[in-house]
Structure 1
Amino acid sequence: MTAPLTVRVEDKLYQNRYLVDTGRVHIKVRPHASPTPELRALLTACPAGCYALNGAGQVEIAADGCVECGTCRLIAEPSGDIEWSYPRGGYGVLYKFG
């Protein structure tokens, strides 16, 4: 009997391609001195790992790898911690396998 095949999320995300809309980021984190619980939740909830703490302890986003799953919209947009909009047509994630 063979061991089950395992695939890391990072390996699957690597298959996607992204067309970055330079100068028109579709997700913005509101300025904050310290992150709210909703912003801190994004550090682990985002499946693409787009959110990180900077040296000042603030949450930042690198939207270049966003898979547009909507997780951050459910967690932080209602609280006003982020501003989210769809990328312009033709930009954003380009799924390789559908």
Structure 2
Amino acid sequence: MSPDTYGDISFEDRMATADFRVHERPHITVDTAVCVSCPTRPCVPACPAALFVPTADGGLLFNYEHCFECGVCYQVCPADDAIGWSYPDGGFGVVFRKG
């Protein structure tokens, strides 16, 4: 089995089965002021949902609405307190539907 497939379903097709139930309270917060001074920004390539986007002026944009809740960003971030992560409130977050 290829690493790009899950059974007979490609990664892209599997991710298309995700439904995001977004709560008004973000379950991830990012202090982008801290991110400006980060030389490596490991969150950018590590996020499977590509929610961390560098900007031309050296900033970082972040969007929690399509988060897969894996916690990788929180784990790879080298800065203390730059990323605050918790599970979404009950009934909210990502739901994977059977493809």
* TM tier, smaller: 0.7 to 0.9
Where in structure 1 are there 5+ consecutive unaligned residues?
Answer: none
How far residue 79 of structure 1 moved from its aligned partner, in angstroms, is 2.4
Contact 2:32–2:60, Cα closer than 8 Å, also in 1? no
- CA change 1:80–1:12 in 2 (3 A) is same
Rate the CA distance shift 1:35–1:10 in 2: closer, same or farther, 3 A.
farther
Q: What is the aligned residue count? A: 91
Q: TM-score, normalised by structure 1?
A: 0.76
Which of 17, 20, 29 aligns to 1:18? It is: 20
- Report the TM-score, using the length of structure 2 for normalisation: 0.75
1:15-94 aligned at under 5 Å gives the runs 15-22=17-24, 24-32=25-33, 34-37=36-39, 40-76=41-77, 79-94=80-95
| Separation of aligned partners in 2, 1:78 and 1:57 | 17
Counterpart AA for 2:59 = Q
Structure 2 CA distance for aligned equivalents of residues 25 and 32 of structure 1: 18
Decide which moves more: 76-85 or 86-95: 76-85
Kindly report the root-mean-square deviation, in angstroms, between the aligned alpha carbons of the 2 structures.
Answer: 2.4
The structure that is helix-richer by fraction is 1
3-state secondary structure, aligned to 1:11: helix
Mapped contact 1:29–1:59 kept (Cα < 8 A):
no
> Identity percentage over the alignment?
31
